[in-house]
Structure 1
Amino acid sequence: MHDEPIMLPADSNFLTGDEGDDHPELELKFAPKVLTSDLYHYTSSEAAILGILATRTIRMSPFQGTNDLWESRPLIPNLEGGFEGLPSDAYDYSKVWTDIDQFIRGYSKVACFTQDWEIAQRVIHPDALRGWGHLSLWAHYGAGHAGVCLKFDRARLIESFEKSRGGAIHQFYGPVRYRRAETGSGPYGISLAQAEEFGIDAVALRYAQVHRDRVFFRKHADWASESEFRLVRTDLSTEPFYFDITTALRGVVLGDAFPRDRVPALRAMLAGFDDVEVHQIRFHNRNLYLCPVDILEEAGRRTIPVPATISNISPRRSGDLTQRLSSLDEVERAAAIAREVATQLAAPVLRMWHDHLMNQSRLLENWTNMLTGDWGSSTSEIPSGQRQTRPGVRGDEIVYEGGVGTIAEQDPAYSFTWVAQIALQLRSDGSGVVHACISSEEWIDSGNKRQDLYRGQRDFSEQDFSVVARKALEEFIDEIPKARLKFDILRGLICRDIRAVD
């Protein structure tokens, strides 16, 4: 589906024809997401093989060692009242806060995991939010993509954690909530009178229990991409704590740069685990893919180099590599010049379209249950068979594409989408085509159902470009109210035969 398009900046050089790159990101924003029962833990190959898998335990590290300053620094609660028989200025309250922090954070440990989200396979990048697919976590915790990501069953992991409760004052678990701003200690405080009565340790530990969400499960929004789920344990020790993960481990994901010479050690450590699948991340064209790996086969496999002169594609152009490369450079340079000229020619028209549509607020106002956006850069509605091709191949007459469009999303989002766009294509001789399209998209179980509500196309020469562009815009604006009505009928807002709108 779609979201609000990016606004056109004043600099016309922005209009490069790459506007369609926004679509995958916008689609993910509104795609339905389902939280799975899996959790993932990123670590180095050494820590995974020689630590977690070898001992069948996972380490809970000191809470004070977390990477967010919201957690690695004290959260100082308010101190209420005073000590009996002492004036308020006669005691060093910083020592009280130090003692409180020791019992709240100093004796607490945490194990961190990443949650796993499924997105419908019909979107362009359905694995974008999987627990194993976080590039920043691979870089920070997965040894620069050379480590591993361990897959755990959430319920079994929690069960093992709870079985290890012996000696704990508190054990908590749950997802982290991310906030851009917090009020610090807030209205919650610790009574100094209670501290004198019950002990500073007791009141501090009770404070941690009562306010555990704020203390242990809040992080700054800068860390939100981690989608963290954590286990927290508080006891009276500053040492790390380990608990068994034998029954919870379900998979091992190798990083894209995982060293092949560590496969034998990994294979040996996995021998005693049941039903553990091994996959490896593969990175291609800015996307991560999860590929099954048979580590028994991998151990004996040898890579056979392919001679550089062998190609799976026979070129239509004649000549040796040097000649064909020279031809490719030539057509690319010529295309770049033609594209620059066309960009300057198109910029005034695109700006006129954009400004005129932005001033037509009535076109999208007062639309029941619809979230509307501004007009921005877009070319996605140009028919796929007529899209610009790369220089030097058949159909390379088009040297530039640009357009202006907007999106309206039914509230709740990602059920019905209304897309309106007017776009142009230019050839090197200054002639071209104006495309105008208004369409609907409906999210259904079998996929994305798309329907044109209006489509127009006008050819133009270099001489009549401006005239055709204005006429196409006028017709486009006239069709918007009709397309709105058709869309409302499709989504059941109006019970009326759609043919009456034509």
Structure 2
Amino acid sequence: MIISVKDSNKYLYHYTSAGKAIDYILKSRTLRLSPYTGTNDPKERKGWLFDFGTNEGRDLGRYSRDEYSSWLSGEFKSKTLVTCLTRDTGPLSGNHVVDIFKRGYCKPRMWAQYADDHKGVCLVFLRECLNEKVNKQVGRRYPLLSGAVQYVDRGVARPFEDQSYLINVDVLEAEGKEAYFARHLQTHYQRLFFEKMTDWKDECEWRWVAFSGSAEPIDVKFGDALVGVVYGEDTSPEDRQKILELNSGKGIQHEGLKWKNCSPWYDWKW
């Protein structure tokens, strides 16, 4: 997963604390889809505010913005689950000396933010294999979307043609709330669930979003999709040993990262 890697779409990475990796992820061999509102992005945590529009001259004054925003935002968020991973930043040359700065497991800010300030781990998954597992275990039961997050800065004043946060009351009255929700999702899912501000762009996020009808998390058995573990600069020897034991006999590669001055490099001894 380090030497001669040229395919930037081959792997996905999940940063976590050593405790979560040991007690939950590696012990149960599962990756969790959690409530969408539990993310750390205000766009995703907070309720969305929708305006109204009509092509048929309907009276928009009889619609309560707060009421209908609460309804549609709630439908989108309260019963939606997500799991978020990161990607390599292509193109990769195959030269690991140069490519280390583009690899998904070598992001200092993400180590600090998601992996217990470099004391945790970064789990390495085969993207296509993990995608197959998620689709079989989740996609066959619930509507499921997946893909790379796009990073765009958008102002409060939106152009007229941007209707991702606009309720078309003509369609709503003609088809009812349930059908309208499905139509709005199908039309605007990219803007609603796969777009974030450019300040997040270095996370190079890939995600699965499931509309399960419940806020109850779903654990996906990842099986042989897990192919590597990268230890942080300060992952303790005790935690490394526990992880090695949990992965024993499973053919999983274990490596570490070290920083020399401002430069990251591999701790090959693992």
Aligned-partner Cα distance in 1 for 2:252–2:7 = 23
Mark the runs of 5 or more structure 2 residues left unpaired by the alignment. 1-5
The aligned counterpart of 1:327 is none
- Say whether 1:260 aligns with 2:237: yes
8 A contact 1:100–1:201 mirrored in 2: no
Task: Write the deviation string for residues 388-446 of structure 1: whole angstroms up to 9, x where unpaired.
Answer: xxxxxxxxxxxxxxxxxxxxxxxxxxxxxxxxxxxxxxxxxxxxxxxxxxxxxxxxxxx
- Say whether 1:221 aligns with 2:195: no
Cα shift at 1:122: 6.3
Aligned-partner Cα distance in 1 for 2:101–2:241 = 31
The aligned counterpart of 1:167 is 141
Q: Helix, strand or coil for the counterpart of 1:101?
A: helix
Q: Which has the larger radius of gyration?
A: 1
State the percentage of identical aligned residues: 28
What amino acid maps onto 2:93 in structure 1?
A: A
8 A contact 1:254–1:279 mirrored in 2: yes
Change (3 A) 1:122 1:251: closer
- What TM-score do the two structures reach when normalised by structure 2? 0.85
What amino acid maps onto 2:187 in structure 1?
A: V
Aligned-partner Cα distance in 1 for 2:171–2:83 = 32
Cα shift at 1:293: 4.1
- Say whether 1:92 aligns with 2:59: no
8 A contact 1:190–1:204 mirrored in 2: no
- Say whether 1:200 aligns with 2:172: no
Cα shift at 1:292: 3.2
8 A contact 1:160–1:243 mirrored in 2: yes
8 A contact 1:75–1:215 mirrored in 2: no
More RCO (CA 8 Å, sep 6+): 2
The aligned counterpart of 1:109 is 81
What amino acid maps onto 2:77 in structure 1?
A: R
Change (3 A) 1:181 1:196: closer
Aligned-partner Cα distance in 1 for 2:31–2:181 = 27
Change (3 A) 1:179 1:88: closer
Q: How does 1:70-469 map to 2 (within 5 A)?
A: 70-81=43-54, 88-117=60-89, 119-120=92-93, 125-164=98-137, 165-168=139-142, 170-182=143-155, 186-188=162-164, 189-271=166-248, 274-294=250-270
Cα shift at 1:229: 1.0
Aligned-partner Cα distance in 1 for 2:263–2:49 = 43
**Aligned structure 1 segments of 4 or more residues deviating by more than 4 angstroms:** 121-124, 182-185
Aligned-partner Cα distance in 1 for 2:237–2:207 = 31
8 A contact 1:70–1:220 mirrored in 2: no
Cα shift at 1:193: 4.2
Aligned-partner Cα distance in 2 for 1:66–1:46 = 19
Aligned-partner Cα distance in 2 for 1:281–1:34 = 21
8 A contact 2:230–2:255 mirrored in 1: yes
Task: Write the deviation string for residues 3-28 of structure 1: whole angstroms up to 9, x where unpaired.
Answer: xxxxxxxxxxxxxxxxxxxxxxxxxx
Cα shift at 1:201: 3.1
Q: Helix, strand or coil for the counterpart of 1:126?
A: helix
8 A contact 1:99–1:200 mirrored in 2: no
Q: CA RMSD in A?
A: 2.5
What amino acid maps onto 1:78 in structure 2?
A: D
Cα shift at 1:290: 2.4
Change (3 A) 1:194 1:121: closer
Task: Write the deviation string for residues 120-149 of structure 1: whole angstroms up to 9, x where unpaired.
Answer: 366974311111100000000010000000
- What TM-score do the two structures reach when normalised by structure 1? 0.48
Cα shift at 1:184: 5.3
8 A contact 2:228–2:254 mirrored in 1: yes
Mark the runs of 5 or more structure 1 residues left unpaired by the alignment. 1-32, 295-502
Q: Helix, strand or coil for the counterpart of 1:281?
A: strand
Change (3 A) 1:113 1:123: closer
